[in-house]
A and B are shown apart, each in its own frame.
Chain A
Amino acid sequence: MKRHVGFKVERRPVASGRVVLLVSLLAILAALVVAGIFFQIYGVSPIRAYQLILRGSLGSRFGLAETVRRAIPLLLCGVGLTIAFRALFWNIGAEGQLLMGAVAAAGVALFTGLPGPLLLPAMFIGGFIGGAAWGLIPAILKVKLGVNDIITTLMMNYIAIYFVEWLIHGPWKGPSVRGFAYTDTFPRAAWLPTIYGTRIHWPTLVLGLVLAVVMYVLVTRTRSGFEIRVIGENPDAARFAGISQLKTTLLVMLISGGFAGLAGVGEVAGIHLRLLGPTHISMGYGYTAIIVAWLARRNPLAVIVTSLLFGVIMVGGDVIKVSLGLPFQLINVFNGLILFFLIGSEILLRYRISFLLRS
């Protein structure tokens, strides 16, 4: 009788919530360790660095405020992306949709001459429409013509970026200071109120939290949410059940693009108070939101947590620059590592490796 010791690798049917959480934490841990190596190279103890980051981002009133305000656009974009990803629509274009939302808000603020109380709501509505429209174009192209959604959403980002550049250098140009171009400052009525002493434009924050909850309810409790989940899990069965891929895809991108647009409104009406260079409006929020949504495993409620986490990371970048003299770019490294380890760890979710003792 021979005894074999071997591996058995089998597809795991469904990963339990616990396993998913564990694997996500492992990915973050791995990223922390590798990033720690970089800290070490600069002669900084990783522990000290992480302590500083945590203290700087969560330990002080100012830090916490900054963390939250960074998390706001991540929250909105992230929630929208969870919906898109659930329907298997690879929306890489949140960045562009955010910018178009900002453009729409700026347009409403600067040129419509609406009376004061109406201005902010109109800006939000306009921003939603702007972002949604920008997202619907790739959606229509995908459903009607089969054009790849990854490429179209990506390309639309750059079109949006240059569109904003054109606006602020051209037709919407305001005073130019120090080589940067931007529009005039918005009228006072178009300024989002902030929490005293911070830059947290709380209406957008509240909007984000509310929408996260609403989306969670949508996905788990409504007909549309059911259709989205079916399409995302099994497009063939969706067809079999008479679910319209066209309608669902359009709905999904309406939401995803619209939410990103809202994030854009928040940035220009809450932080910058004018339309300015695209890289100042969004420091890669649209791309970071992809990681936020992915880490949240497409659960809109979990995005609240993950967006805060990435808020910490972004503020951490400032902290290490100021306190440790380390380059801000380390954040990009960290983000890249997390994303990388996340997708690498998915293999652990798909397969179960068990040891076998066979005789």
Chain B
Amino acid sequence: MDNSEGYAIELRRIVKRFPGVVANDGIDLKVHRGEIHCLLGENGAGKTTLMRVLYGLYRPDEGEIILNGQPVQMTSPRAALNHHIGMVHQHFRLVPTLSVEENIVLGLDEGTGPFLNFRKTREKISAIADEYGLSVDPQAKVWQLAVGQQQRVEILKTLYREVDILIMDEPTSVLTPQEVDQLFNTLRTLVDDGLTIIFITHKLDEVMQVSNRVTVLRQGKVVATLLTAETDKPTLARLMVGREVVFRLEKSPMEQREKLLEVNDLHALNDRGLPALRGVSFDLFGGEILGVAGVSGNGQSELAEVLTGLRKATKGRVSLAKKEVTNCSTREIIDLNVAHVPAERIRIGIVPALSIRENLILKDYRHPPFSRWAFLNNKKTEENAHRAMSDYQIVAPSDETPAMLLSGGNIQRVILARELSKNPSLIVAAHPTYGLDVGATEQVRQVLLAQRERGVATLLISEDLEEIMTLSDRILVMFNGEVMGIIDAEGADIEEIGLMMAGTRQKGEEL
């Protein structure tokens, strides 16, 4: 859809760096007025960062933002709003105890002074709602609304402020299918009225359904910008995940031992009470690494939490070595020798203020030799610490150093040392190499492979597709809380994986 009116937004050579990573690496983006433009990519591709630059939440290190032909400085969200750019975030910015109209008006200075004319507000809200089919009761309290309705409030908030450009960040991740349809209808109405919409997503169906054009980002760079009508899902999938040659690590052929973990129709809710797991089923065998691929937020963390006792399953069964363990407490699962290498290393994996020595016994302190009766055996914990530090090459002034002073890699080494010290039968490893340097990453991978040799069953959750493909024996792809497919890693087609990650079920798994 070429138009001679010029672009609504042009981003030129945007660079945004964070410590250790270049989130946006010279990105060019042109968005036409009146189109729905999708930004497609995996997590870490840079889509959200880019939009935050556009919305004034971040300042770009290099590059220009040009609106309607004029270069502008986006110093803050207020500046963005002044330029008629609005953003609906993935996690809503609403105050639950306030009503819809109060939320819409929050932070606005309409020049009427401290007092509010609610009647006028209500009329304006109704007018906008009617025009775009966004019905919602202005006086309802937000906490009473369903998620889809809350999203409508967020949209109304931006429309109330008369935006021309609307950025939506993964809007459908919290919606039911019906609500998704309603959202798309709304978007089409908005566009008919002259709005421009940028839509961040990782779901191919949505791209094909609703966008005019799509820009694919990967690792901070633009891979391609295409007309939606001129492309298809397989192409997009390939562009999204890349076609690098994958280097395989030296790995002995898998000796499949007994079935260790059986997961059947697992359902669970996430922290916001929405379904996160919708009937996940799979088996895991000793001596294999099952990689869980998928864009973050599709239920992987909830899966790890259910398996380790940190979250309740609402339905379904989990058996470990033929023993039913569904909804066992965390402590029971720990005592069953399940190791958990958590994604949030610092927040839950260690106690930052305690020493390395103490962190190493964080799960084991209840058992001999670390404690007898009620008392901790300091000598044994010290011995354990020395051994762990040498086995896992933990670099620190002493074993009494507080864990918070360690580097990311060393923290992970402490966690590994602790989790693996009891010779677990099952390891749940979530994003184990995230944020680590090359050396630490390599070490972690070697450790996981060594455990595999010993017959341990490992569930490896990672956003790094390359890592999944090199380490796993089989790959399970999750999307929207469901298993899209399970395939052998050997000879896996990355395009097929990409398709599954973006919402297409594996052939033969069609419902």
Enumerate chain A interface residues (CB-CB to B < 8 A): 13-14, 221-226, 229-230, 233-234, 236-244
Contacts and interface: CB of A to CB of B under 8 A. Distances in A.
B352 interface: yes
Given A223-B366, A234-B352, A240-B310, A14 B404 contact: yes
Interface string B369-387: 0010011101000000000
B348 A222 contact: no
B334 A237 contact: no
B27 to A, nearest CB: 31
Nearest to A236: B348
Nearest to B333: A242
B405 interface: yes
A239 B330 contact: yes
A244 B349 CA distance: 16
B351 A234 contact: yes
Contacts of B358: 226
B365 A226 contact: yes
Interface centre among A221, A237, A241 (most CB of B within 10 A): A241
Given A223-B374, A230-B351, 4 more contacts: A221-B376, A222-B371, A226-B365, A241-B363
B309 interface: yes
B363 A239 contact: no
Contacts of A242: 309, 329-331, 333-334, 363
Contacts of B378: 221
B376 A223 contact: yes
Given A222-B374, A223-B366, A226-B358, A233 B405 contact: no
Interface of B: 309-310, 329-331, 333-334, 340, 342, 347-354, 358, 362-363, 365-366, 371, 374-376, 378, 402, 404-405
Q: Top 10 A-B pairs ranked by shortest CB distance?
A: A242-B331, A242-B330, A240-B348, A233-B353, A234-B351, A236-B348, A222-B374, A241-B362, A237-B351, A14-B402
A221 B349 CA distance: 22
7 contacts: A14-B402, A224-B374, A233-B351, A233-B353, A234-B353, A240-B342, A242-B363
Contact of B362 (A222, A237, A244): A237
Contacts of A14: 353, 402, 404-405
A241 to B, nearest CB: 5
Contacts of B340: 240
A234 B405 CA distance: 16
B342 A222 contact: no
A18 to B, nearest CB: 15
A239 B310 CA distance: 8
B365 A233 contact: no
Most B CB within 10 A of own CB, among A233, A234, A240: A240
Nearest to A229: B354
A223 B365 contact: yes
A329 to B, nearest CB: 39
A240 B301 CA distance: 14
Contacts of B402: 13-14
